[in-house]
Amino acid sequence: MGAIVFNMDRTFAEALRGALEAHGWTAYRLSEESGVSRSGLSVYLAGQRLPDAATISTLAKALGVDDEEMQALADIERIGPDRLHRIARQAPAVIDLPSHPARLPSEARLL
């Protein structure tokens, strides 16, 4: 199986659902593999709440993916695209973002 890439234009929930699909797993299987409760996974998969850092690490380990990528995606979502763009405008030499903050930017990159 190839590496799972967490595209920054997706929400955390979308990326988590994509990782499940890539593995051919159900939420029940991820719950069994990770030890994260099914009710907790349900909330994360629905996009109703973001997991804390320890839970993200646990999910990443179970899925065999980079926990830093998963954490970065959750952090970007927590910050929010509007705030992220305000920060980028204050430090344009550090972060390059597209002009429209409607979605989490896939083309965001550190310079």
In angstroms, how far is CA 55 from the centroid of its own chain?
A: 12
pLDDT band at 99 (very low <50, low <70, confident <90, very high): low
For the chain, percent of residues with pLDDT exceeding 70: 72
pTM: 0.69
- Higher-confidence residue of 111 and 15: namely 15
Distance CA 24, CA 110 (A): 33
- Higher-confidence residue of 4 and 75: namely 75
- pLDDT tens digit sequence for 12-47: 899 899 899 999 999 999 999 999 999 999 999 999
Neighbours of 49 (CB within 10 A): 11
Computed on alpha carbons and rounded to an integer, the radius of gyration of the chain in Å comes to: 15
Distance CA 110, CA 98 (A): 13
Average pLDDT of the segment spanning 96-108 = 50
Does residue 101 carry a pLDDT above 80? Answer: no
